[in-house]
Amino acid sequence: MPEFAWVPDDAVRQRSRLPAALRKWGIADVTELNERAIADPEWFWRAVVEDLDIGFTTPFERVLDESAGKPFPKWFPGGRINVADLAVRGEPGKLAVVYEGDSGQRRTLTFAELDAQVRRFAANLAALGVSRGDRVVLFMPVVPEAAVAFLAVAKLGAISVPAFSGYAADALATRLQDSEAVALITADGTTRRGKEVPLKATADAALEDAPDVRTVVVVRHLGTDVPMRAGRDVYFDELGEAPPVETAPTESNDPLTIVYTSGTTGRPKGIVHSHGGFAVKTATDFAYGFDTHADDVVCWITDLGWLVGPMLITGPLQLGATIVMAEGLPTHPTPERLWDVAERNGVTVQGIAPTAARALRAASETPSHTLSTLRSFVSTGEAWDEPTWWWLFDQVGKRRVPIVNYSGGTEVGGGILVGYPFLPAAPAAFTGALPGVDAAVLDDDGKPVTGAIGELAVRNTFPGMTHAFWHDRERYLETYWSRFDGVWVHGDLASVDADGSWLIHGRSDDTLKLAGRRVGPAEIEAALLRDERIAEAAVIGAPDERRGQRAVAFVVVKGSVDLDDLRATALANAGRSFAPEVHVVATLPKTKNGKIMRRAIRARFTGSPVGDLSSLDPSTPLEAIPEDQEKR
């Protein structure tokens, strides 16, 4: 049996939405639910739509149509549903959107105000020539206008293309070109660590290589003067009254949004999500996975260009909850900024990545906040190291708040695995698959294994999984469906024990083979992070003529350290077979949402092509990583 850290009390179990649904459906537990859901998706997804009141304006004909093949399912065919209508149906006077800037700004929209602004902006976009099926790139900070823009584009039946606000001009131009966008919505600028990031200037440079963009709408966020091209550029706040438009009667499988992810080689992948699939998946994950109700306040420091941005707008809002969109970093302008935001807004569900938790721990070992409204953390982005997990659970949550571990990806529209808050959980672990997901750990022959590390795979399909890459079906098939027949291979290393406790061990393409054993970098990183002098760690595999591969660690330390003693401790903690060579660096290259870019680190160290670096946070330069001296 695993050693449980979190054990829910009766109040948690009684409040939770999924146990209530199980009682209504006459099902004993989550295991029985998933067995039935996988065997009978027609029953299960109809039951979910009814239980969560997911508003189809025209009923769907059936739940699943696989006539085009298993990798290309149609979900809820014939049904009419539009995310824009779902997200504005909360109690009119209740706060829907709260914006928190990193310089103390705060703005809000009630559900009634959000509805009015979405209607107005959709009408203006239509007057500017945007029509159903057009692509509209959103290069914006997480301000209230970002939620308005995402939903207004959906209302028209157009397709949003959220772009990371930290992109350079060439990366933005690539997405404008690949999506064949006709319009761009941006802002004069944003801030990061209090410093201005000139979004409009970046957009103008990108537009030089994207001449098909006819319209640019600019939000005055910072109030700085920016050049405006006559006939193309218009300020958001100067848009007049336009003839109202009806919500487009989009079919369930009509595209809602294209979220681009970076690859190690080639052009970025445009992940296509539809109105029906994305609405049902985000409602399922937030309601059943995170136990989100209409009286909840959900906060996440994210970016519109990462999947969590669209998820935050689509999931909690359709459940009637309030969302808090926080711009910037969790540690700026003070080390306790995230906890300040949570207390000020009565946050009940707080999203956090392990990397962000490590940064918070390094900046402020013992938070001073009570966080009395907080009911759960939701953790995603990468694998945990146990010392940081225990710090968040012990020192911040005071052992009364579960850490809902959540793992999936852009390509599946949300999660595969979750740590249900109403179930006991071991540190850093997951307690099962999300409802309706047939997850498994497979060995090299595609056979399920228990108690060993293997490939995380999905043996069925579920709403929210991408409809393929934009204009690139073959690359989609090659990426996810080519290894084992009829099985989605996600690209993560995972393990599950006999008691159903799951762990994620990092990306499978980051896998090391040391002493004849496959090992994920997270396993070695967790061992290194037991040394309290180490604030962050990233482990890669490097070629080795004698051993085939050796482990190399890059660590950020707290203050000055004795390097020899640091390496000796690493050897003791990781074990001789897996002990890495250790390099102390000033920073680890990361994306803006805090994911360590291990593949870029490996490429830099080994002298290989680094691939697409458009998501790199410029404050964490790749040049901080040394080159491999053994190659010289």
Protein fold of 511-631: GMP Synthetase; Chain A, domain 3 (3.30.300)
8 A C-beta contact, residue 458 and residue 438? yes
CA distances 211 to 116, 176, 204, 207, Å, are 32, 9, 11, 6
Residue 263 pLDDT: 54
- Average pLDDT, consecutive stretches of 10 residues, N- to C-terminus, the chain (632 residues): 86 96 97 97 98 97 97 98 98 98 92 98 98 98 97 98 88 93 97 89 96 97 96 97 97 97 69 98 98 97 92 98 93 90 97 88 83 95 85 95 95 97 95 97 94 95 96 94 96 91 83 68 84 93 78 93 92 82 94 81 88 82 88 54
Beta strands at 581-584 and 548-557: parallel, antiparallel or unpaired: parallel
Residue 33 pLDDT: 98
Q: What is the DSSP-derived secondary structure letter of residue 386?
A: H
Where are the CATH 3.30.300.30 domain residues in the chain? 511-631
3 state DSSP class of 153: helix
CATH for the stretch 53-274: 3.40.50.12780
Q: What is the DSSP-derived secondary structure letter of residue 238?
A: G
Residue 265 pLDDT: 47
3 state DSSP class of 191: strand
Backbone φ, ψ for residue 340 (5° rounding): -60, -45
Query: Torsion angle of alpha carbons 230, 236, 238, 240, nearest 10°?
Result: 110
d(CA 520, CA 518): 7
Where are the CATH 3.40.50.12780 domain residues in the chain? 53-274
